[in-house]
Structure 1
Amino acid sequence: MAQVLEFKLPDLGEGLTEAEITRWLVQVGDVVEVDQLVVEVETAKAMVEVPCPYAGVITARFGEEGTELPVGAPLLTVAVGTPAVGAPAPGGAADDALSGAADAPAETSGNVLVGYGTGAAPARRRRIRPARDVAPVSPAARAEAPVAREEAPSAPAAGPGQGTELAGQGPDAEDGPVPVISPLVRKLARENGVDLRELAGSGPDGLILRADVEDVMRAAAAPLAGPAPATATARTTATGLGATFGTTREGAPAASRAPGSGTRVPLRGVRGAVADKLSRSRREIPDATTWVDADATELMHARVAMNAAGGPKVSLLALLARICTAALARHPELNSRVDMEAREIVQLDEVHLGFAAQTERGLVVPVVRDAHARDTESLSAEFARLSESARAGTLTPGELTGSTFTLNNYGVFGVDGSTPIINHPEAAMLGVGRIVPKPWVHQGELAVRQVVQLSLTFDHRVCDGGTAGGFLRFVADCVEQPAVLLRKV
């Protein structure tokens, strides 16, 4: 007998509670295999592809591209065992496509976490084309899987007693489906006593947006807050599909925005995660910053010489990382974290070096694992790999977590100095400004040298200024005379 199984957005780990659908990899009617990638989602950590643990025919998808879903929300439904939804009559064009689902056992790989599939190559997708004659859908099959706004192409319209619930339509709906942009909007309406059947949605084809529900909520609160303005004003609404800017339900242009109003940008995804982490750092860490100017001329010459010798190219970031790991070996207090519950400073044995990378999605901090055990060439190769993944948005959550110390090269933005915020729960961050020609006293004479400003922001709970100053001075000495690194390590 046919089974219609629901696949929910899995727990993505690392404390992530939601994700935004960025791209569907399958369509309703496609035949999928166990652990085939079905959707690409963006979390606060990275862009990831989610595998489906079932084999069968996709019968429904929940959420369009741009929709933000909480963990545990339905992603899609799959007809497993025999065709249940949208199956054509025998002899139809899709018989071959359905045969795979008909023979597939109703089983799951159990590998529903992102990145944990069987490793088998994904099957070629096959579309089920609508046939003229359509097999009826049993009430039992429909009762097992709620139907989204997008159903199998050839599924018949739901009749009385079939138990169909469209997105935004509750079981108690009386006048047909209520098109709602996401289940979160339906929940908002239910919690605030808003009857969706009485709303005229401002979205495409009357789709009810979050802003429509919020308008009703504001109108209900208007008697308490005073009379509302007589004219409609432009608004910006944050919905499950992202930000919709600049028009009212009446279609007023953004230029009619009321004085004092502004554009609202939702803090979610990478930007929201950065905001949360930086706020926590400022709340919990009593930080201090110290800085020094250094003559980087010899370091630049050393890099040129290394690259001229042949072999893999060495980046400046890799040289600075090598200096950092050497400095942390001498000052392990800065490679630590504070456990306030135990009231202990935990000094870490390994250095997992994070580095700040600006991408189109925002600021991310990829992590070079075991940086203390890598040579300069290995560091350079790993920086290049992680930077490319960051630009492509393909970093995994594991590559974005677990750093113990962060190197921040903000000089690429053309600035000399900064007071960076510590990447919680680390204890310190080294900032590097731009390297530019400046007047400098070199060997007793005024000369033009390549000068860089180095800054260290540190958690004052793990050490005092003497330790922080010693760390920064060692880094500066290595920048000025790279041979110091060989002599003192």
Structure 2
Amino acid sequence: MAQVLEFKLPDLGEGLTEAEIVRWLVEVGDVVAIDQPVVEVETAKAMVEVPCPYGGVVTARFGEEGSELPVGAPLLTVAVGATEAPASPAPSAAPGSSASGASSADAPAAGESSAGSESGSGNVLVGYGTGAPAARRRRIRPERVGTPAAPAPAPAPVVEPEPVPVAVPAAAGEVNGRQGPVAVVSPLVRRLARQHEIDLRRLTGSGPDGLILRADVDSAIRRAEEAARAQTHTAAAEPAVAEAPTAVAAAPAAAAERIPLRGVRGAVADKLSRSRSEIPDATCWVDADATELMAARAAMNAASGPSGGPKVSVLALLARICTAALARYPELNSTVDTAAREIVRLPGVHLGFAAQTERGLVVPVVRDAHTRNAESIGAEIARLTELARTGKLSPAQLTGGTFTLNNYGVFGVDGSTPIINHPEAAMLGVGRIMPKPWVHNGELAVRQVVQLSLTFDHRVCDGGTAGGFLRYVADCVEQPAVLLRTL
């Protein structure tokens, strides 16, 4: 008569109290043998295949893949005695032996399955196990080493009872055609295989004793990717082949366009790539009320009269604010000598500004910007911008910058995370200035709001310095009179 036994998650050792179910190796209704791995679990230390100490039919599983179970929680139930051979095959009866003699030979297995003693296999998995049927193993072992058996009419020949699983699915217990657990030690290798849906049981390990290494899994992943690409290419080519007889005059598929990275575009690509690879940059940003700045600009241009000179641009005012902020926070007007492992603070501010041209993005440099006022900076920006548009900027006018101002608001965007212009240490980005709801003097009003973002090299300063610089710029934008203290 079948008896249902409950197998609980065993103590996996090292003080671990829970484990995650990674993969079930058996289904409800499968026949399992004693000590057959039934589930793969992962702890904080390793991946483990848990063997079941009972042989029989799986009647229930507890827990889905990905769920965690505490030690001692029910893992699965097995109907022991529901099948003829859940554990090991019965030895063949000797010629002339009686039926009762054959029954006595099977007594140890019957004691495990039907008596309900839960003696199990005797194997131990780090902290759990069942009593070994020692008598049976001691009785058989001398025969293996050649010790003569007692000359008596044995009920059955003395044969090593092999744990041959009857009707056990190959996926549950075979590794490359042989019985046993997967030869993998590293949890990282198992996780990598699981993420890429690689069946470890189909791999042959290149390590000692067939141990599966990470290189084996990587090779399997590459083979799977190559097979997928080949399949995709074949699938894409099949329709063209099928349609060839009816579409004789069809034009060939257009090839992808390739644009060489050379000239200005190539130089920009090299500089930006070097910036990303060398500079550990960080970005902070803030919204500012630019209403007063726009009013100050209007007043300046009105005071100059119809023929009083060139108009002062918003970019020129922001450039002047930057030079004043760099005087307060000179850490951002520096560069890093990676060979000497030194921060080099530069004595003067050579202010670069981003300019979009037909040939690509260029950054002309306003020399000695710290010695110029807003009007002078504006005139130089206008001159360099014209040279950039006509492609007449010299290399000297495009190099040597110590800080860059990037007004991407002209493209109609609010914010960005600028990439530092290597080898500088910081860049200020300015978004579009547009009417937005804003709390002004304790009341909701429509104000001219702009977003300012600062990307800085975290090697030259910390967030406090960068935040102080950005806050000073924002204060000058909101209250231009603050600049009077530094003029």
Greater gyration radius: 2
Q: TM-score w.r.t. structure 1 length?
A: 0.48
- Bigger helix fraction: 2
* TM-score, with structure 2 as normaliser: 0.48
